[in-house]
A and B are shown apart, each in its own frame.
Chain A
């Protein structure tokens, strides 16, 4: 039973355009959501997060949107750069619970 789902295994985007990575969750108890980025042969690194009391959080070129009623979140990268090519994991947890559930990941290719 996958509580966090990333239905797109891969995404290809042209440099300078917007990348939109999507994530759905099923557990309504989740109230904290994170995105991690992973390069080959490295561990995932934290990218951006959002609490359920917000519907948007921005950090430079990265913005995460949360739609609680749809149990859906998305990561927008604008403008996309070749260095953004990586696997992006969506993750969810209950605040203070520490048991973070990860999605399967979406591999982003940004073409120069």
Chain B
């Protein structure tokens, strides 16, 4: 099993640009999570999906952030427009429905200049 796949691994962009982060969960996992890691706030849950449906997006910081899951094998997190304070590592994770253990991808390090 390839595990959770995220792309790109690194993204450097300028303020005001649109950024799209991508995630492929582990096959068979019904839950998908997006997290953001910063030095100040640690690991924050942004949004999670169950069977491709967003369940809780209360962690999404602003309307500039949006996430979609068009099918069971793909999800995107989009930031438009990006700001320097969005610089962080963004993780995607997936899980089986019968367990609370999540499997994380390697993360995308986003730098907004």
Contact = CB atoms under 8 A, between A and B. Distances in A.
Contact of B48 (A6, A44, A98): A98
DSSP class of B's interface residues: helix, strand, loop or mixed?
strand
A45 B104 contact: yes
Nearest to B101: A46
A45 B104 CA distance: 7
For the complex of A and B, the 7 pairs showing the least CB-CB separation, nearest first, are A104-B42, A43-B104, A102-B43, A46-B101, A44-B104, A43-B106, A43-B105
Interface residues of B, number: 24
Contact of B4 (A43, A46, A96, A99): A43
A101 B41 CA distance: 12
Interface string B90-113: 010101000011111111000000
A61 B101 CA distance: 20
A89 interface: yes
Contact of A89 (B42, B95, B103): B42
A89 B42 CA distance: 9
A63 interface: no
DSSP class of A's interface residues: helix, strand, loop or mixed?
loop
Interface in A5-53: 6, 32, 34, 36, 41-46, 49
B97 to A, nearest CB: 8
A104 B106 contact: no
